[in-house]
Structure formats: C-alpha cells, structure tokens
Chains A and B, each alone.
Chain A
C-alpha cells in the first residue's frame, strides 16, 4: 500500500533530452519534496512545495524545474540532462511544513543519462 509513488522506477534518457519524473501521494500532505541522491551520498534537497508555494534551494541548478498541478501530484522536469545529473531522485511528503513531522519517501527513480 504505497503512499508515495514514483514513476518510473528506472529512467534512461539521452544527454540533453528533456525528461520528467513523477510523484504521487495518497496521504493528502501539504508538502512535497524532491531530493537528488548520488551514489554513496546523502539525499540533497532540490526544492519543495508547501501547498502551491514553491521553495527552491539556492544551489539548485536552473536545469531543474518542478510542477505541482494538484495536492496529489508533483513533477520534476530536467530540461537538458547532463551526465552529472545521473542519480536517484527521491520524492517525499510531509503533513505540514514546520516542526515535528517526518517525511515519507517514495522508492525513488534512478535516472541514467546516456
């Protein structure tokens, strides 16, 4: 009974070809996060939505964009993937933006750039 669902689990894209990763949640949580995780590293926050408010991390490249058309869905768009963008991309949700609430993670999408 997955609560945060990421599709696809594995994605192969060509260098420079736009790619979209998707995330959906059944928890009705306010906040949705996108993290990038490279091999043997900690997840790094790219951006998050608090309801419809978008919060971008200062060091997130412009190549990465996000959309949240409704509460349940959030998309990560990589406009021109480079070889350095190959990573696991994790979506997470939490009930509120503040305080003592855990984040629930999806299983991730592993992106390969060829």
Chain B
C-alpha cells in the first residue's frame, strides 16, 4: 500500500550545526505534506508544511524541500539548538475516498542535539 517513510531513525548533531531529516513518500497523488515535532510525552506540534506546487518553503530556522521527481521530502534545521531535540515526523495528506482525507505519518526520526 501507499506509505510515507523515513531514511534515518536517529540523528545526532552538535549544537549550532545544521540538521537534515529526510523522508520518502510513495503516494504520487499526495499534494500536501507536513513536518511535525514531537517531544517526549506530548502531542505532535506543527513545524512547517508544503504544497506539491512548491519545491521549497522556509520558516524560522527551518526549511522544507520537496522533490516530486523522486518523492522525497527533507527538513533542514539551521543552527540546531538543544530545544530541537525531539522526534520529527513527516506526514502526508492523502485522499481516502468519499470526500475524506487522512493524514499518514512516516516512522519518525529522533534528533539528539549534543551540547
């Protein structure tokens, strides 16, 4: 079936370095993608989204890149801080029939920031 997955389950980076978290998706019909951050014991928190008619979107310290040719998403975090330590999920909004959509999550990458 269609799925959204991540290449790297864990990532350790030095404080101040840039982080790159990758995600592959398989549903070519998906047109909207979201990155969520989830801290331990909390619900997912929206970071940034991107529509399929874009290939790049920037937020505060974060950038999402979308490559539709290879069905790949990445989240770049600039100047990574200890507060960025969390699990990051990419999510794909896809049509599930009868006028309804569903948000499907990838496996998640745990980002650990080394002070």
Does B105 make an interface contact (CB < 8 A)? Answer: yes
Q: Which of A49-72 contact B (CB under 8 A)?
A: 50, 53, 55, 57
Contact A102 B49 (CB under 8 A): yes
| Count class of interface residues, chain B | 20 to 34
Q: List residues of chain B with CB within 8 A of the CB of A33.
A: 102-103
Contact across chains for A100 and B49 when beta carbons are under 8 A apart = yes
B98 at the binding interface (Cβ < 8 Å):
yes
Interface residues of B in 62-115 (CB under 8 A from A): 89, 91, 93, 95-96, 98-108
Residue A18 at the chain B interface, CB threshold 8 Å: no
Indicate which residue in B34, B36, B44, B104 contacts A45 across the interface (CB closer than 8 Å). B104
Which 5 residue pairs across A and B have the least CB separation, nearest first? A105-B43, A42-B105, A100-B32, A105-B44, A98-B101
- Taken together as a complex, chains A and B put the C-alpha atoms of A111 and B99 apart, in Å, by 32
Structural contact, B102 and A104, CB atoms closer than 8 A? no
Total contacts A-B at CB 8 Å: 72
- Check A98 against B44 for contact (C-beta < 8 Å): no
Contact yes or no, A99 B93, CB < 8 A? yes
A55-B98, A90-B44 are contacts. A102–B104 as well, Cβ < 8 Å? no
| CB neighbours of A40 from chain B (8 A) | 108
Please tell me the size bucket of the interface on A. Answer: 20 to 34
Question: Does chain B have a CB within 8 A of A81?
Answer: no
Q: Which chain A residues numbered 4 to 42 have a C-beta less than 8 Å away from chain B? A: 4, 6, 33, 40-42
As a 0/1 sequence over residues 3 to 43 of chain B, the CB contacts with chain A under 8 angstroms (1 = contact) are 00000000000000000000000000001101010000111
Chain A 78-114, CB within 8 Å of chain B: the 1/0 string?
A: 0000000000001010100111111111111010000
**Which A residues touch B101, using CB under 8 A?**
97-99
Could you name 30 residue pairs across A and B whose Cβ atoms are closer than 8 Å? A33-B103, A40-B108, A41-B107, A41-B108, A42-B89, A42-B106, A42-B108, A43-B44, A43-B89, A44-B105, A48-B102, A50-B99, A50-B100, A53-B100, A55-B100, A90-B43, A92-B43, A92-B44, A94-B103, A97-B101, A98-B100, A99-B31, A99-B101, A100-B32, A100-B49, A103-B46, A104-B46, A105-B36, A107-B43, A108-B43
